[in-house]
């Protein structure tokens, strides 16, 4: 990796975290010139640039050193650590950011008899989070099948491709609309500022320190 003197932050290009992440960075005094391809935003005041990508790519970009920091859901960060990033240096959750709150939960059909996690033994569970679900099942000694789906997880029980699901829940409306009942919470999530365990010691490190200080001020005012 070529040495860099500007800090580079990866964030979601278009999705639930985009607006609140930009808003937070603006409150930290950062301004950006939007480039034409909208993938890279040059920071005008401070030496901090943005890379706008799919949220799933953010942990990998930090792990590879392409970006110094990322704003991403704890769910995406945790899944990366247990799957693609499992053999590399672990990433660090530098700050919880207080937006994008949701939970990763197990849900079963409303008419399924379910009292405790052990009732999942022998079932097939559909999810986009095979790493987090696999670890939860293993830690409880539950032998269940994990069906990995990229999306539309909530319709899997109706389609017969799974008996239960493990998906993100916010209001619970999607579960109700699909006659599902939330039974267990695996992870409480929110957007976090992620970075490498070992932070850069060059000019980027100084900027990072300043950014964290401003971030703490902004977060404190909000609370
Ligand atoms: O294109 P890209 O890959 O970047 O976007 P994406 O579609 O993967 O992500 P996006 O924008 O949907 O979500 C980004 C992040 O927002 C997630 O990784 C979470 O950390 C966080 N977040 C917060 C949520 C929700 N709330 C949420 N409700 N992510 C998804 N949902 C979905 C959930 O999957 C389910 O389909 O909303 C539905 C449930 O919502 P309720 O309110 O009906 O319970
Ligand atoms: Zn995504």
Residues 62 and 96 in one domain: yes
From the alpha carbon of 74, which atom of ligand 1 is closest?
20
- Within 8 A by CB and 6+ apart from 1, the residues are 64, 65, 66
Q: Is the pLDDT of residue 5 over 70?
A: yes
Q: Based on the domain organization, do 20 and 45 belong to the same domain?
A: yes
- How many domains does the structure of the chain reveal? 2
pLDDT at 18: 95
The residue to mutate among 13, 16, 149, having the most atoms of ligand 1 within 8 angstroms of its beta carbon, is 16
Whether the predicted pLDDT of 105 surpasses 70: yes
pLDDT band at 36 (very low <50, low <70, confident <90, very high): low
* Whole-number percent of the chain with pLDDT over 90: 89
Structural domain span for residue 133:
102-188
Looking at residue 37, its pLDDT comes to: 67
**Do 84 and 161 sit in the same domain of this protein?**
no
Distance 8 CA to ligand 2 centre (A): 20
Residue with CA nearest ligand 1 atom 2: 54
For ligand 1, the distance from its centroid to the CA atom of residue 207, given in whole angstroms, is: 31
pLDDT in tens, 138-187: 999 999 999 999 999 999 999 999 999 999 999 999 999 999 999 999 99
ipTM, 2 dp: 0.99
Q: Among 7-16, 22-31, 197-206, name the one with the lowest average pLDDT.
A: 197-206
pLDDT of residue 203: 87
Q: Looking at the predicted structure, is the pLDDT value of residue 89 above 80?
A: yes
**Does ligand 1 lie within 6 Å of residue 220's CB atom?**
no
95 and 12, same domain (yes or no)? yes
Tokens of 105: 């939960």
2 within domain boundaries: no
Q: Judge if 90 and 196 occupy the same domain.
A: yes
Q: State the CATH number of the domain containing residue 45.
A: 3.40.190.10
Mean pLDDT estimate for the chain: 95
Point out the ligand 1 atom lying closest to the alpha carbon of residue 16: 11
What local confidence, expressed as pLDDT, does residue 1 receive?
59
pLDDT > 70: what percent of the chain? 98
Nearest CA, atom 8, ligand 1: 55
Any atom of ligand 1 within 6 Å of the Cβ of 11: no
Pick the closest to residue 133 from 156, 98, 96, 164 (CA basis).
164
Calculate how far, in angstroms, residue 114's C-alpha sits from the geometric centre of ligand 2: 30
Closest atom of ligand 1 to 13 CA is 4
pLDDT at 65 over 70: yes
Q: What is the DSSP string of 163-197?
A: SEEEEEESSSHHHHHTTEEEEEEEEEE-EEEEEES
Per-residue pLDDT, averaged over 186-197, amounts to: 97
Ligand 2 centroid to Cα of residue 80, in Å, is 12
Angle (deg, nearest 10), helices 18-27 and 203-222 = 100
* Per-residue pLDDT tens digits for 113-128: 999 999 999 999 999 9
Residue nearest to atom 28 of ligand 1 (CA): 170
């Amino acid at each position: 990796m070529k040495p860099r003197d500007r800090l580079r932050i990866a964030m979601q290009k278009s999705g639930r975290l985009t607006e609140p992440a930009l808003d937070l960075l603006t409150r930290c005094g950062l301004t950006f010139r939007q480039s034409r391809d909208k993938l890279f935003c040059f920071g005008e005041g401070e030496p901090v640039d943005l890379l706008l990508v799919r949220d799933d790519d953010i942990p990998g970009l930090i792990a590879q050193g392409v970006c110094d920091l990322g704003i991403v859901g704890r769910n995406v960060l945790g899944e990366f650590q247990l799957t693609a990033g499992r053999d590399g240096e672990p990433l660090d959750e530098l700050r919880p950011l207080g937006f994008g709150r949701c939970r990763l939960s197990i849900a079963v059909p409303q008419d399924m008899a379910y009292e405790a996690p052990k009732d999942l033994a022998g079932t097939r569970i559909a999810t986009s989070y095979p790493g987090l679900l696999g670890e939860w099942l293993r830690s409880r000694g539950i032998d269940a099948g994990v069906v990995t789906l990229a999306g539309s997880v909530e319709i899997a029980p109706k389609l017969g491709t799974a008996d239960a699901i493990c998906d993100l829940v916010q209001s619970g409306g999607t579960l109700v609309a699909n006659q599902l009942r939330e039974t267990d919470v695996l992870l409480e999530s929110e957007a976090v500022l992620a970075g490498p365990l070992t932070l850069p010691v060059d000019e980027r490190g100084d900027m990072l320190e300043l950014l964290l200080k401003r971030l703490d001020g902004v977060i404190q005012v909000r609370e």
